[in-house]
Structure formats: C-alpha cells, structure tokens
Amino acid sequence: MRIVIYGLTITSSWGNGHATTYRSLAKALAKRGHSVHFIEKDVEWYRSNRDLPSPEFCTVQLYDAWAAGSKALVEASAGADAVIVGSYFPDAIALTTALLEAGHGPLLFYDIDTPITMAHLRASGRTEYLNESLIPHYSAYLSFTGGPALKELEDSFGSPWAVPFYCSVDPELYRPTTCREAFRSDLSYLGTYAADRQPKLTRLLAGAAAILPERRFVVAGPQYPQDIVWGPNIGRMIHVPPPEHPAFYSSSRFTLNLTRNDMVASGYSPSVRLFEASACGAAILSDSWTGLDEFLTPGEEILLPSDEEEVAAILTEMSDEERVRMGRRARERILAEHTSEHRAEQFERVVERVS
C-alpha cells in the first residue's frame, strides 16, 4: 500500500508524544512492505530540535504555509491507498475539505488526543484541527482512546466507524539496557509540563522526595515554568531524546506515569510513555483511571499509589527481586499486545475494511 500521513510531527520529539507514535507505526508499516509518506508543517520549535530529520522508513515532506502549498499538499495523496489526517495537524480542517473535494482516500482520522478533542467538540463542535461536520466523512476514526468514547463518536458525532487504535512501542528500540549514572534515581518521571498534571507530580514525586531526602529523584521534560521550586534531591533534565529513553527507564528503580485530566475522565487512554517504559522492563507507579487494567494488571504489572506516603513506602519496602519481576511482567504483557507490529497489522485490517 501507499500511505500518506498528515501529522503534527515525525521529525522532532521535542515536547510531544506524537513523533515516537508515528515513528513506531510508520517503521512497522514499512517493514511489512508498505510505502509511507509523512507530511508536517515546518515550524520553528521542531525545526530547531529535529532528532530524526530523515527517517529511513518513510519519506518526509515539509511545508511552510497552507495558502502557498495547498495544491501540492493535496496532490501528494493522489492515488494513495490510505490517507491519514492526524490530530493537531495545523491545517487539518482546510486539508480535509480539499481532500474530500479531490476525491482522495479512503480518508482516516487518527486522533492521538481523543479526550481533549471530544471535550472541545462537546463544548463548541470543533477544535483547531477538527470540525464536527467533517467526522462523518472520515471512513474510520482511529482513536487513541477506547471504551465509551468510541460509542459517543459514532452516536453523537456521526463517525461511521470509531476504532480503538492505541499507541504502540517499537521493541527493537525500547528494551532493558544498562544503567547510566547520569540517569540513576530511585524514582523518575519523563514528560512535558502540563498544568493539570503538575499537582500529581508535585504530590507523588516531590512529596516522596521530601519524605526521603536521602533518595534521588529525576524529572525530565521541557516547558516547566522556571518558578517551580524542586527539592534538593530532585534532578532536572530539560530534554531526553528518544534514543536515550531506554537508558533513562533502565537507570531508575521505579518510574512514574501520570495522566492528563481529560484522559483520566475518558479512561482507556494509555500514553505512549506507559508502553515504552513497560517495554524497557521498568517498574511503574501510576495514577489510576478507568480501563488501565485492560493494559496492565494493578498489583502485578503496575502499582497505583494514592499519595506520597504510599510512594515512599514502595521505594523503601519493595525488594529489588519483586520490583524486577513486576517490570518483567509488564514488559511481557505489552510486547504480547501493543507493539508497532500489532498496530501495523490492525491498520491493514482497517484499510481492507474501509476500502
């Protein structure tokens, strides 16, 4: 198949989870013999932080402005076997309208931000990248979120087919590796700053750090306000590029997974970081949300502490043998169900049905 994807970015992982998600899918599709062409807008913050400017598994087309390049952008999909428009693609509404007028398709919407999208749709009928009136025209709505959201997309917003299309992990890249001293910690967190996630990070990680001043903690990720006061035993890293994620997870005794409020409210919204950390055999502590047990079993493959005291107790009382076993079970579970190969096979089935 020839597949064209219009997405936020595949060339830069700076401050977003889209890039590694697209890379995982595109690489697996290419391994299965498909041709993938990825189109993204050339914006300054990604241009200055491209960690994969020329992927070997797909071609990349950058453009400056929709008004100047719309014709070429639409023509790039001519003759494609499948066309994907992704959430947060800057010109998605104008593009979708033009693709429909040109008759290119089948046209699929890939929402890596479903709970946020749906919150806007309920409030105003549109987001900056999706208009409610366009949803019925997508042959399938590939959703980052499963569960009840899928029925709402079909019943309330007219999607002909809402598909649970979770993120995935590339097992060739994400696997246990040797500890790196710069990343060594008792508890780590890797994620871009989000205002609604910060209170949980402050309570669970910073709170535990205050209880355990002799232990080391690490927070990695961009866009955190400069006025945040971190404890003396909390290390800060502005950016950890994807090739170093396995070492980051493998160098921490435990790692923390935190979820945006809209995702918690929707449930069934595993982040790509959750899958990547699991594939590296990390022992994961997480906030709790409906549907989490469909991906990892609490108490066996993941732990769900309710406050900083429970976090501190886990860090001090769980043996290394038990911690390693939990991480190994999580790795086995994710590799059995949520690799990039699984998602590429699912994508083939979707295209076969809508075609």
What would the pLDDT profile of 330-345 be if each residue is shown by its tens digit? 999 999 999 999 999 9
Residues 102 and 230 grouped into a single domain? no
Element (H, E) at 317: helix 308-317
Residues 224 and 252 grouped into a single domain? yes
What would the pLDDT profile of 247-278 be if each residue is shown by its tens digit? 999 999 999 999 999 999 999 999 999 999 99
Residues 344 and 282 grouped into a single domain? no
- Residue 106 has a CB neighbour count (10 Å cut-off) of 17
Boundaries of domain holding 87: 2-168+339-354
Residue 173 is assigned to a structural domain of this protein: no
pLDDT at 68 over 90: no
Strand 140-143 and strand 2-6: pairing?
A: unpaired
Residues 42 and 190 grouped into a single domain? no
Residue 175 is assigned to a structural domain of this protein: no
Quick one: how many helices (H) and strands (E) in the chain? 14, 12
| Rounded Cα distance, 280 and 306, in Å | 24
- Residue 320 has a CB neighbour count (10 Å cut-off) of 9
Our count of domains for the chain comes to 2
> For residue 271, what is the domain's CATH number?
3.40.50.2000
Amino acid letter at 212? Answer: L
In this prediction, residue 69 has a pLDDT band, given cuts at 50, 70 and 90, of: confident
Residues 144 and 189 grouped into a single domain? no
Residues 297 and 323 grouped into a single domain? yes
Residues 40 and 159 grouped into a single domain? yes
Q: What is the mean pLDDT of residues 76-101?
A: 97
Residues 164 and 191 grouped into a single domain? no
Residues 200 and 333 grouped into a single domain? yes
What would the pLDDT profile of 205-247 be if each residue is shown by its tens digit? 999 999 999 999 999 999 999 999 999 999 999 989 999 999 9
- The candidate with the shortest Cα–Cα distance to 121, out of 165, 90, 152, is 152
In this prediction, residue 77 has a pLDDT band, given cuts at 50, 70 and 90, of: very high
